Amino acid sequence: MGKNTTRCQRVMKVPGVGLMTATYFVASVGNGQQFHSAKQFAAWLGLVPREFSSGGKQRLGRISKRGERYFRYLLVHGARAVAAVIERHKDNMPWLYRLLNKKAYNVAVVAQANKTARILWSMLVHHTEYRTLSAV
């Protein structure tokens, strides 16, 4: 497995995803059809905020930390590596750069991990390559 599979090679093109994350992703998720959406996949990983709503008022709390603990660990540390070098590559990831300037560092890192998880699921299910966003 690893470097020899097409799915792992395709997934490793995403910033913050290395060999360990790619192989763990492909091995644990398979073809990804068990999840109906990228949001459901991120919730399975525990990367979505818990919701405490009452009386029409929505309150979002901390991430739920449910599901695949080790995979969440790999994604968060990959996102941390991306956030560490964002100053040099802010044109490639303007969303993360703005978020790091507005929110706490760890909040932005977990948000990037959530986004990475959703991208990985979408690439796997739709058989697409990773496309970088061009600077606007």
Residues 58-73: what's their mean pLDDT?
Answer: 71
Query: C-alpha distances in angstroms, 78 versus 71, 113, 117, 133?
Result: 11, 7, 11, 18
Summarised one tens digit per residue, pLDDT across range 78-107 is 999 999 988 787 777 888 888 889 988 988
Give the residue-averaged pLDDT of 63-87.
Answer: 85
Mean pLDDT of 33-52: 82
The whole-number average pLDDT for the span 63-75 is 80
pLDDT value, residue 29? 86
pLDDT interval class at 135 (50, 70, 90) = very low
Q: Give me 4's structure tokens.
A: 């020899």
